Structure 1
Amino acid sequence: MEFDSEKDSAIFEEIFKRRPEIDLAKFKTDLQKYYLPYVDRLVTLKKGRSDDRGIIVGVSAIQGAGKTTQGEILEKLLAHFGYGSVSLSIDDHYITHEELSQLRQKDPRYIRRGVTHDLKLAVGNLRALQNMSPGSLVLVAEYDKGAHAGDGDRFAWVVPPAGASLVMVREAGGMKLREVVYRDQRIPTPENMGAAIPLEEHLFPAEVEKILPDEGGEIRVFGRDDGNVCFVGRDKVVVLSSSLPRGWQLVWRKPDFIFYDGWMLGARKVEDGSVFDQSLPALETPEAKQFARDINEKLADYEELWSLVDFLNVLYVPHYEMAITWRDDAEKVLREKGEGMNPEQIKEFVYYFWRSVHPAIHIKSLAHDEGHTAQVAIIGDDHSIVEVLSPAQVREKYP
């Protein structure tokens, strides 16, 4: 596969504009040593398949390691070579807020989402995309992390692409999807799609709230060719380009590759329970160690989901404590606006996830796992891609 770094790099211009922090000189180097060989391996895998199923590419990385940016770059590259792809995250498969609240009543230790995924939904979404036939339509879950003061929720609604229309109905203080149609084809809505969008949280912009119907009434929503979304209600029209709640994604093109990323993606149950006796950040107390052991047992439930992954790429950060620094850098911008977490809150936030799936235990084990991991990209403290190794090489260099 040929790629002219000078001429063809124009495909990334949109990403560079959105992410000015990308060092263009470093990017050209990363393109040659990481992205192009990575894409070549994926395309070779695809060509070697005897069937037409989509290839599921798992990307496992701790928070802040750069998996989202990498995903955007890989999608552009694959499109350049004539391959379609779709991206989703394990975060989109968290249980609903109502289910999380019920879980907390049974076990108050779940102060955040952590390892609380709807595994049936996750497996169903990936299989539907993997086995999608040309001309079919698939709805894929997305999760709104900003809902309920940061607790998050999955909503029964779709952000409509061009050609799609929705009917939303007002019920019990919220707006919920009643019907979705794409180019005259009605799409069945999934079971347990999610909650109504709560109006009290003002997740819709004020101009939309003004045209919402009374209880039991409907509003129509359309996706336009220019990428905007049109709301029609009370004989008025509101057109928006952003500021909408996260909703289910409508996939109408069969993908060659399905990228599935996550902070704990691929993490497997560790059989040697003594590893939790180590003195590690976030595991300093007996209570923290016990929570880690309990979550470790839950990881056995994820085996069916992990088994769907055809190619697993681990973004391994040897100095995993950098996750706190990276998160703080991101929150500084929000703090300047009077929002965001302070350093102590950031530490507790990150530590909670480490108590669930610890980078020095589960993710390290994954980076060493020749049976399940295809390649490991070593990520430096400055987010740079230091080198790309096999699990055996990682085990030798980063024991």
Structure 2
Amino acid sequence: MTGTALDAVDRLALRLLDDKEGLVILGLCGAQGSGKSMLAGALEARMTRRGIATAILSIDDLYLTRAERALLARTVHPLLRTRGVPGTHDIALGMAVLDDLAAGHPARLPRFDKAVDDRLPEDAWPIAPAGLRLLILEGWCVGARPQPAAALDAPVNALERDEDGDGRWRHFANVALAGDYQALFGRIDGLALLAAPGFDVVQRWRTQQEGDLRADGSAVMNPDQIARFIQHYERLTRHILREMPARADLVVQLDARRGVTAVQAKAG
């Protein structure tokens, strides 16, 4: 990822800040391993140097607890034990955080520990200050819209074919995305997409992420586990790559090495 992406997202953020008083929410969407978390951190640092109070909230930090997902697995579908698809996030928690920040109050920002697959205790959450001006809401499905029901009929991979033969899991996720998720995403003032060249690179990117975790001493998945895990994300990631570029405020096209090949911004 080059400075080109940072400069482009920075320009969008500054325009949004000029256009609106109070809290501005910048949505940053990108497939697993696309570099969105690194980009969000770089933007936060740049804004902070300017004296603009900025914080980051990842939609991954809104995942339901392990116990809550285990309940969904028992009562709705076994695949919901795995974090990922819409329906495995605590959207009410996210909305409450946005409400506090929009009111000018300080707010604790949830944090999820992927190494233990569970949410950290509240006393470990960082606190965003009162009067926050910019919140970067980043994540793999931020700003996503649901698919037409007919698009759910055919499985997109072996996971859906073998473990969701009747489509209950993918229909549950799609209904969830059409519901409260749209209220959350409706709070976004501007949406930027880091567009992968295709879903086929996501497994490679995710494998690189796991290598970074291994270097840090964290628990990691092996290649077979990674291949299965990313299938949970495949349907919606492919849908995002087809549908979102036409409406996002900024699209940063990436190549397989995460190099920027094009930047397309809507006129402000």
Measured against the shorter chain, the TM-score band is 0.7 to 0.9
2-structure distance, mates of 1:269, 1:388: 25
Q: Which residue of 2 aligns with 1:234?
A: none
Q: Deviations over 1:110-142 (max 9, x none)?
A: 13012211111111111212331xxx4322222
Decide whether aligned partners of structure 1 residues 281 and 85 sit closer, same or farther in structure 2, where only a CA change above 3 A counts.
Answer: farther
Q: In the alignment, what sits opposite 2:60? A: 91
1:109 aligns with 2:79: yes
- 1:277 alignment partner, one of 149, 154, 169: 154
Q: Does 1:298 align with 2:268?
A: no
Residue from 175, 180, 186 that aligns with 1:307: 186
Q: Mean alpha-carbon deviation: is it higher for 374-383 or for 74-83?
A: 74-83
**Structure 2, unaligned runs of 5 or more:** none
Residue type matched to 2:172 in 1? Answer: D
Matches for 1:1-399 after TM superposition, within 5 Å = 30-31=2-3, 33-49=4-20, 52-106=21-75, 107-114=77-84, 115=86, 116-132=88-104, 136-147=105-116, 151-156=117-122, 158=123, 247-274=124-151, 276-277=153-154, 283-285=160-162, 287=164, 290=167, 291-301=169-179, 302-332=181-211, 339-354=219-234, 357-368=235-246, 370=247, 373-390=248-265
Alpha-carbon distance, 1:390 to partner: 4.5
What amino acid sits opposite 1:258 in the alignment?
L
Question: Deviation at 1:376?
Answer: 0.9
Please tell me the residue identity of whatever aligns with 1:382.
R
1:43-100: per-residue Cα shift (whole Å, max 9, x none)? Answer: 2221222xx3211001111110001110111112222333221001111112222222
Counterpart AA for 1:126: L
* Change in 2 beyond 3 A, CA 1:36/1:289: farther
1:283 Cα deviation from its structure 2 partner = 4.5
Task: In structure 2, give the amino acid aligned to 1:111.
Answer: R
**Corresponding letter in the other structure for 1:124:** A
C-alpha distance in structure 2 between counterparts of 1:119 and 1:280, whole Å: 27
- 8 A Cα contact 1:328 1:343, kept in partner: yes
* Distance (whole Å) between structure 2 residues aligned to residue 96 and residue 278 of structure 1: 27
**Bigger helix share:** 2
Relative to structure 1, is the Cα distance of residues 71 and 292 closer, same or farther in structure 2, using a 3 angstrom cutoff?
same
Identify if the C-alpha distance between structure 1 residues 333 and 139 changes in structure 2 by more than 3 Å, giving closer, same or farther. Answer: closer
Q: Greater shift after overlay, 314-323 or 266-275?
A: 266-275
Q: Distance in 2 between matches of 1:286 and 1:248?
A: 35
Offset of residue 42 of structure 1? 1.9
- Matched letter for residue 129 of structure 1: L
> Paired residues, what number?
261
* Structure 1 unmatched ranges of 5 or more: 1-26, 159-246, 392-399
CA–CA distance in 2 between the matches of 1:351 and 1:359? 10
Report if the CA contact (8 A) 1:87-1:260 is conserved: yes
Superposition TM-score, scaled by structure 1 size: 0.59
Computed over aligned residues only, the root mean square deviation of the Cα atoms, in angstroms, reads 2.7
CA contact 2:53–2:132 (8 Å) conserved in 1: yes
Aligned amino acid, residue 316 of structure 1: A
Is the alpha carbon distance of 1:289 and 1:348 closer, same or farther for their aligned partners in structure 2, counting shifts above 3 Å? Answer: farther
Change (3 A) 1:277 1:256: same
Deviation >3 Å, runs of 4+: 278-286, 332-339
- Change in Cα spacing, 1:84 to 1:381, as seen in structure 2 (3 Å) is same
The SS at the match of 1:109 is helix
Q: Is the 8 A contact 2:196 2:241 kept in 1?
A: no
Identity of aligned pairs, percent? 23
State the Cα deviation string for residues 160-212 of structure 1 (Å, max 9, x = none): xxxxxxxxxxxxxxxxxxxxxxxxxxxxxxxxxxxxxxxxxxxxxxxxxxxxx
| 1:105 CA displacement | 1.5
Question: Hey, what's the Cα distance between the residues in 1 that align with 2:89 and 2:227?
Answer: 23
Aligned 8 A contact 1:282 1:352 in 2 = yes
Q: Which has the larger radius of gyration?
A: 1
